[in-house]
A = this chain, B = another copy of it.
């Protein structure tokens, strides 16, 4: 396989994986493209490589920057903007975890707490509901805290964590 083919395959695969995890395909593709580029890329070039419109590129670059995993760069003497991706994978994972926690898990936890604290009367049905949603609340809270803890680790948390699990 030659370079261009491999690069394209990678970008497509990353895009597909993104879709399956609720991340818009183009957003994942742009991210993939920037991850494997050794220098900052202009919007023009992104549009060209991915065959997408200016609006699409602009909106998804903004989203990636909101996630904190893509940065804007300015080159001396150049008017246009260039973009680079966070290339450190530990850092990338931490940022994605943080964002998903903030945007999705925290709000879900709030609802889970609300519904798990209704007064359960005496029917078995209602008791089971309260019991199950309480357990779910505890579980999700614990999982979410685990992500927070990981965030606090320094370099190579994944490696360290794997060591701990193995032992």
Shortest distance in angstroms between A115's beta carbon and chain B's nearest beta carbon? 4
Contact B21 A115 (CB under 8 A): no
Cα distance A121–B129 in the bound complex, in angstroms: 61
Contact A146 B133 (CB under 8 A): no
User: Copy number in this complex?
Assistant: 2
Interface string of A104-128 (1 = CB under 8 A from B): 1000100110110010010011111
| Interface of A: prevailing SS | helix
Contact B133 A150 (CB under 8 A): no
Cα distance A70–B21 in the bound complex, in angstroms: 21
Q: Which residues of B contact A121 (CB under 8 A)?
A: 3
Looking at A42-50, A61-69, A137-145, the stretch in contact with chain B turns out to be A137-145
Supply 10 A–B pairs (Cβ within 8 Å), ascending by A.
A3-B118, A6-B115, A7-B129, A13-B111, A13-B112, A13-B115, A20-B104, A37-B125, A38-B127, A38-B128
